[in-house]
């Protein structure tokens, strides 16, 4: 890819990441809705959401893997800290699912882009 194509890819990845982050904020920082699915299925939702969050940048810049995972983990941690103030519960399991989702996305993109 040429430098301009790489720059466009990075800009699109940043835009997609921002939109996904906003969607995650809306869904995790609004008052809790009734639980959907079996007990513990919210961990799968956390995994999927943070997988999607890490995916665009993981694709655009697979070498940034550890930085992407750290940024996503920090974002997930901030959400867990804020949630009790909006009537939701904070759980370590949610943060672990967030990190697992981001790590899986980064690893997958690294393998695909090699």
3-16: pLDDT as tens digits:
899 999 999 999 99
Residue 36 has what DSSP assignment? -
Determine which of 35-44, 49-58, 102-111 has the lowest per-residue pLDDT on average. 35-44
Residue 90 has what DSSP assignment? -
Helix (H, G, I), strand (E, B) or coil at 94: helix
CA angle 18, 22, 26 (to 5 degrees): 170
Please tell me the predicted confidence (pLDDT) of residue 40. 66
Cβ-based neighbour number of residue 100 at 10 Å:
15
> What size, in residues, is the chain?
114
What are 71-100's pLDDT values in tens digits?
A: 999 999 999 999 999 999 899 999 999 999
d(CA 52, CA 57): 10
Residue 87 has what DSSP assignment? T
- With contact defined as beta carbons under 8 Å apart, do 68 and 102 qualify? yes
**What is the pLDDT averaged over residues 39-56?**
92
DSSP of 66-86: HHHHHHHHHHHHHHHHHGGGG
With 70 as the cut, is the pLDDT of residue 36 above it?
Answer: no
The pTM (predicted TM-score) of the whole model is 0.91
d(CA 85, CA 88): 7
């Amino acid at each position: 890819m040429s430098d301009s194509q790489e720059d466009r890819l990075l800009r699109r990845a940043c835009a997609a990441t921002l939109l996904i982050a906003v969607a995650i904020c809306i869904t995790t920082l609004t008052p809790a809705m009734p639980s959907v699915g079996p007990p513990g299925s919210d961990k799968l939702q956390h995994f999927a959401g943070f997988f999607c969050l890490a995916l665009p940048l993981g694709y655009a810049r697979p070498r940034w893997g550890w930085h992407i995972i750290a940024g996503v983990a920090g974002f997930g941690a901030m959400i867990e800290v804020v949630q009790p103030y909006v009537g939701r519960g904070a759980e370590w399991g949610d943060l672990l699912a967030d990190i697992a989702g981001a790590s899986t996305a980064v690893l997958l993109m690294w393998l695909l882009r090699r």
